C-alpha cells in the first residue's frame, strides 16, 4: 500500500518474506491482487506494453555436471546425447530473424573442453555474421535501397542511441560455469548476454543439491566475472526445491538486487524420475497432493516475479517454460504479474525429447513454426503484443537507476 502507480520500492528481506507468507497461506486475496496489479503497472512503466521474444535453442544435452534435480545431468541414465551441428544452429537463428525474433539463447549442458569452446565460438560468430547479412538484405529489400545504405542507416540509429547497431540477432548464452578467459573469448566472438541461475541464494541448500566439485561460491564468482567481461547478466532460481524455505526465497530477491542482475528467470522445481532431488522431494512429501502442491509453487513463483519487478524496476523478467508445465496458460498469467519476456522453444523437433529437464516439459512434439504462432495467440489473449524489430536490451544495463 501507499505506492504511487508504477513506483518501485526497495523492499527488504522481511517485507518480501511477509508477502510470500501471505501468498503461501492464501490468507489475503486483496494483497495478492494488489501485488500483481502493482507489478504489472511497474512493468508497463519500465518495459512498455511490448513483450520480448527470445528464441531458445537447446543445442546439446551433453553435460559434465551432476546437478541432482536435472534430467540431463551427467549420471542420468537412458538419455540419448546429442550436439546440433553448427550449420543447423545457424539455420535456426536465420529462421528466427525472418520470423521477427531478434534474440537467440543458446542453451546446453556444461562442458569445459576446448572443443566445446571452439564449437560455441563458431556458432556465435556464424550467427552474428550470417544474420547481420540477412538483416541488411531484408532491410534493403523492404526500403528499396542497397545493403550499404541499409548498413549506414542502422549505424546512424545506433549512434543516436549510443549503442551497437541492432543488426541480425543478438546472442545470449546459457552454458554454465566457465573460466573467465572463455567468457572473454565468447564475448569477443559476439555474445552479449549470459544466463546462469544461482539456483538458490542459500549456500547450504546449494551444496545439498550440487555434488562437489560444484560450489555456490564458484558460481557467484562466475556471475561477477560475466559482469566484468561486459555481458548483460541473467540469473535466477528454482522455487520449491526440496529443503527450501520462504526465508530462502526472500533472500533470492535480495541476491538478484545485490548482484545487479539485468535478467531474471525463475521457474518452479519440477520432479523428474531418476534424479536424486526427486527422491528427496518424494521422501519429504510422501502424502503430497502433487497437483495442489505444484499450483502453490506456481503462485509462489509468480509472486517472486512480482516482487523482483517491484524491487528492481527496469530488468527483463522471463515467463519461464516450467510455469507452463503446471498451468497451460502459465506464461500468460506470469506476463500479467511482472514478466516481460517469453522464450519460444526453437530447438528442432527431433532433439526436443532428449532435452527433458523435468517431467511434463511442454511443446516436446512441436515445431518452431507452431511455437512462434502459438505464442502470438497467447500474448493476444492477455492484451499484449510482441515488441518485434528490436533487440530489447534490459533497460537496467543501458540506463542503470
- Smallest gap from Cβ 270 to ligand SAM, in A, equals 4
Specify the length of the chain in residues: 401
Q: Is 400 helix (H, G, I), strand (E, B) or coil?
A: coil
Nearer to ligand SAM, 110 or 135 (CB): 110
Cα–Cα distance between 322 and 360 in angstroms, integer?
9
Nearer to ligand SAM, 196 or 342 (CB): 196
Q: Cell match 527450501: residue?
A: 244
CB 65 to ligand SAM: min, Å: 7
Q: What residues make contact with ligand SAM under the rule CB under 6 A?
A: 69-70, 72, 107, 109-110, 174-176, 196-197, 199, 238, 267, 269-270, 272, 322, 357-358
Retrieve residue 226's grid coordinates: 560475466
**Residue 291 in 3-state DSSP?**
helix
The least distance separating ligand SAM from the CB of residue 206, rounded to whole angstroms, comes to 12
How far apart, in whole angstroms, are the C-alpha atoms of residue 133 and residue 93? Answer: 12
Residues β-bridged to residue 56: 105, 345
Residue written as cell 535480495?
254
**What values do phi and psi take at 55, rounded to 5?**
-80, 120
Q: Closest distance between ligand SAM and the C-beta of residue 306, in Å? A: 20
* Between 272 and 318, CB nearer to ligand SAM: 272
Rounded to a whole number of angstroms, the minimum distance from the CB of residue 167 to ligand SAM is 27
Q: Give dist(CA 296, CA 298) in Å, integer.
A: 5
> Strand 263-268 to strand 50-53: parallel, antiparallel, or no bridges (unpaired)?
unpaired
| 164 contact partners, CB below 8 Å, separation of at least 6 | 158
**CB-nearer residue toward ligand SAM: 226 or 335:** 226
Q: Which one, 272 or 316, has the nearer CB to ligand SAM?
A: 272
Least Cβ distance, residue 112 to ligand SAM (angstroms):
12
Closer to ligand SAM by Cβ: residue 70 or 150: 70
Would you tell me how many other CB atoms lie within 10 Å of the CB of residue 353? 12
Amino acid at each position: 500500500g501507499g505506492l504511487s502507480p508504477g513506483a518501485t520500492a526497495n523492499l527488504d528481506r522481511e517485507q518480501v518474506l511477509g508477502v510470500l507468507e501471505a501468498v503461501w497461506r492464501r490468507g489475503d486475496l486483496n494483497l495478492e491482487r494488489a501485488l500483481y496489479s502493482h507489478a504489472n503497472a511497474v512493468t508497463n512503466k519500465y518495459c512498455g506494453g511490448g513483450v520480448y521474444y527470445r528464441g531458445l535453442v537447446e543445442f546439446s544435452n551433453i553435460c559434465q555436471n551432476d546437478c541432482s534435480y536435472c534430467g540431463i545431468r551427467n549420471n542420468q541414465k537412458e538419455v540419448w546425447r546429442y550436439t546440433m551441428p553448427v550449420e543447423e544452429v545457424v539455420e535456426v537463428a536465420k529462421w528466427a530473424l525472418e520470423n521477427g525474433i531478434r534474440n537467440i539463447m543458446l542453451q546446453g549442458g556444461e562442458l569445459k573442453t576446448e572443443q566445446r569452446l571452439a564449437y560455441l565460438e563458431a556458432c556465435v560468430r556464424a550467427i552474428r555474421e550470417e544474420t547481420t547479412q540477412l538483416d541488411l538484405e531484408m532491410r534493403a529489400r523492404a526500403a528499396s535501397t542497397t545493403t550499404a545504405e541499409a548498413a549506414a542507416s542502422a549505424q546512424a540509429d545506433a549512434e543516436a542511441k549510443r549503442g551497437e547497431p541492432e543488426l541480425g540477432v543478438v546472442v545470449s548464452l546459457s552454458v554454465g560455469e566457465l573460466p573467465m578467459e572463455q567468457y572473454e573469448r565468447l564475448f569477443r566472438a559476439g555474445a552479449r548476454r549470459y544466463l546462469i541461475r544461482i539456483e538458490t541464494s542459500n549456500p547450504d541448500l546449494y551444496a545439498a543439491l550440487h555434488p562437489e566439485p560444484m560450489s555456490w561460491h564458484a558460481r557467484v564468482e562466475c556471475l561477477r566475472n560475466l559482469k566484468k567481461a561486459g555481458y548483460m547478466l541473467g540469473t535466477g532460481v528454482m522455487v520449491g526445491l526440496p529443503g527450501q524455505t520462504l526465508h530462502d526465497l526472500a533472500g533470492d530477491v535480495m541476491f538478484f538486487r545485490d548482484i545487479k542482475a539485468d535478467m531474471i528467470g525463475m521457474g518452479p522445481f519440477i520432479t523428474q524420475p531418476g534424479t536424486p532431488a526427486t527422491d528427496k522431494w518424494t521422501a519429504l512429501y510422501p502424502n503430497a497432493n502433487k497437483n495442489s502442491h505444484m499450483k502453490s509453487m506456481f503462485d509462489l513463483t509468480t509472486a517472486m516475479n512480482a516482487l523482483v519487478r517491484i524491487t528492481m524496476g527496469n530488468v527483463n523478467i522471463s515467463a519461464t517454460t516450467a510455469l507452463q508445465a503446471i498451468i497451460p496458460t502459465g506464461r500468460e498469467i506470469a506476463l500479467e504479474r511482472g514478466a516481460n519476456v517469453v522464450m519460444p522453444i526453437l530447438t528442432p523437433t527431433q532433439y526436443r525429447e532428449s532435452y527433458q529437464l523435468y517431467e511434463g516439459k511442454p511443446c516436446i512434439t512441436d515445431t518452431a513454426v507452431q511455437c512462434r504462432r502459438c505464442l502470438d495467440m497467447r500474448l493476444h489473449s492477455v492484451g499484449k503484443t510482441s515488441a518485434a524489430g528490436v533487440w530489447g536490451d534490459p533497460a537496467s544495463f543501458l540506463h542503470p537507476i
